[in-house]
């Protein structure tokens, strides 16, 4: 499926709310730890974290991620 641009049938999809919920419960997590805990590829986590950072909903300090006050 991936070879043809489709998602694997058993691939987990990560969305912003799931990621923000995880960071609310586990502030200071590294992207690889988030990926392991949620069972998704680390590249998906890093891409979503980048988008959330651009939207000023998360911040990164020493490769650890935190929600910002604007994350509501």
Residue 13 pLDDT grade (very low, low, confident, very high; cuts 50, 70, 90): confident
Angle ∠(5,11,15) on CA atoms, nearest 5: 95
Average pLDDT along the chain: 87
Instruction: Express each pLDDT in 14-26 by its tens digit.
Output: 889 999 999 999 9
Q: What is the pLDDT of residue 70?
A: 67
pTM over 0.85: no
Within 8 A by CB and 6+ apart from 2, the residues are: 8
């Amino acid at each position: 499926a991936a070879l043809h641009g489709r998602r694997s049938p058993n691939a987990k999809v990560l969305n912003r709310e799931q990621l923000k919920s995880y960071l609310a419960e586990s502030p200071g997590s590294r992207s690889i730890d988030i990926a392991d805990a949620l069972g998704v590829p680390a590249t998906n986590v890093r891409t979503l974290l980048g988008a959330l950072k651009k939207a000023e909903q998360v911040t990164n300090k020493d490769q650890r991620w935190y929600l910002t006050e604007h994350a509501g």
